[in-house]
Amino acid sequence: MGKLAGKRALVTGGTRGIGRAIVDAFAAEGASVAFTYRSSTDEAEALKAELAERGVNALCFQGDAADPKSADEAIAGVVEAWEGLDILVNNAGVTRDGLLLRASEDDWDTVLDTNLKSVFNFCKAAYRPMMRQRNGRIVNLSSVVGVMGNPGQTNYAASKAGIIGFSKSLAKELGARNVTVNVVAPGYVETDMTAALPEAAREAMLSAVPLGRGAEPGDIAAAVVFLASDDAKYITGHVLHVDGGLAM
């Protein structure tokens, strides 16, 4: 029996990269898994079909994570279909990198809305269902950049640092109802997003990692599974660095 057997989970941005790895890991551990996506309809349908073939109870919801209505509809859809929600993972995110001098207001708003406001939207929508259950796990994906900063990523760093402060505050609000709120802060991860980085930037970041390599998405998913499981039932308000030692 898996660590998440019988649990009902929702993962935002679940069709690719880290999000896809989390969906797969949750399914492997016995959870029913719902996921959201914004535009990758073909990938979402293929993932849902794949999960169904594996005997996994799966749902998918299309929408913009930065839109409160989309968050409300996804949470309500899970609660209606499965009569509750045990695990929420806020993974949806984007980058719009560049020096602050050249950054546009749209670059700032897009990153803050997608990365940080989406966490607010989904956590707020899940607040009452989890409080009524007197049980729940919320895991929010931040980044080593939100801890250390990085030139050319002021917007991204602000959004990811905001997730940490938000999560610690929410952990104090929900602790009395047995709902934990934790953060996973990945370092360099081999995904489509990081593959688009210039080679010089990629080499510079990897050279600073004591383990000497980037993470695989599955490395991050394993940490999320741990925090979502009963193994971590007495951990809340914590930031778990999965970065190969980069932020030491």
Active centre residues (catalytic): 156
d(CA 33, CA 9) in angstroms, rounded, equals 5
User: How far is residue 181 CA from its own chain's centroid?
Assistant: 12
Greatest CA separation for the chain: 53
- Taking each helix axis from N to C terminus, what angle separates 118-133 and 154-174, rounded to the nearest 10 degrees? 10
Q: Is the dihedral of CA 149, 190, 203, 103 positive or negative?
A: negative
Count the residues in the chain: 248
Report which residue type is found at 18. Answer: I
Integer Cα distance of 206 and 202 in angstroms: 6
